[in-house]
Structure 1
Amino acid sequence: MLRVAVIGAGFFARFHYEAWARLADVELVGACDLDLSKAQSAAAEFGGQAWDDPAAMIAALKPDLIDVATPPATHLAMVTLASSAGTACICQKPLAPTLEESREIVRVAKEAGIPLIVHENFRFQPWYREIKRWIDDGRLGEPYQATFRLRPGDGQGPEAYLSRQPYFQDMERFLIHETGIHLIDVFRFLFGEIEAVYADLRRLNPVIAGEDAGHVLFSCRGGLRALFDGNRLSGHVAENPRLTMGELAVEGSDGTLFLNGDGGLSFLPLGGQMQPVDYAWENRGFGGDCVAALQAHVTEHMLRGGVLENTGADYLRNIEIEDAIYQSARESRRIALD
Structure 2
Amino acid sequence: MLDASRCDGDALDVETACAQLEVREEHFREALADLVALGLLVNRPGRGFVAVSPDEATTRVLLPLESELRTRRARVEEVRRRLVSFSPVFDASLLARENRRQIETIDNLPDVRAAIAELSAKAGREILTAQPGGGRREDVLVEAAPRDYDTLDRGVVMRILYQHTARSSRGTQSYVEQVTRRGAQVRTLDDQFMRFLVFDRECAVFANPADPNGAVVVRNPFVVAFMVETYERLWLTAEPFEADGDAQPEIMDDLKDAIVRLLTAGMTDAAVARRLGMSVRTCRRHVAEIMTSLDAESRFQAGYLLALQEQPK
Same fold at TM > 0.5: no
Choose between structure 1 and 2: higher strand proportion: 1
Structure number, greater radius of gyration: 2
Q: Larger helix proportion, structure 1 or 2?
A: 2
TM-score, length-normalised on structure 1? 0.28
What is the TM-score when the length of structure 2 is the normalising length? 0.30
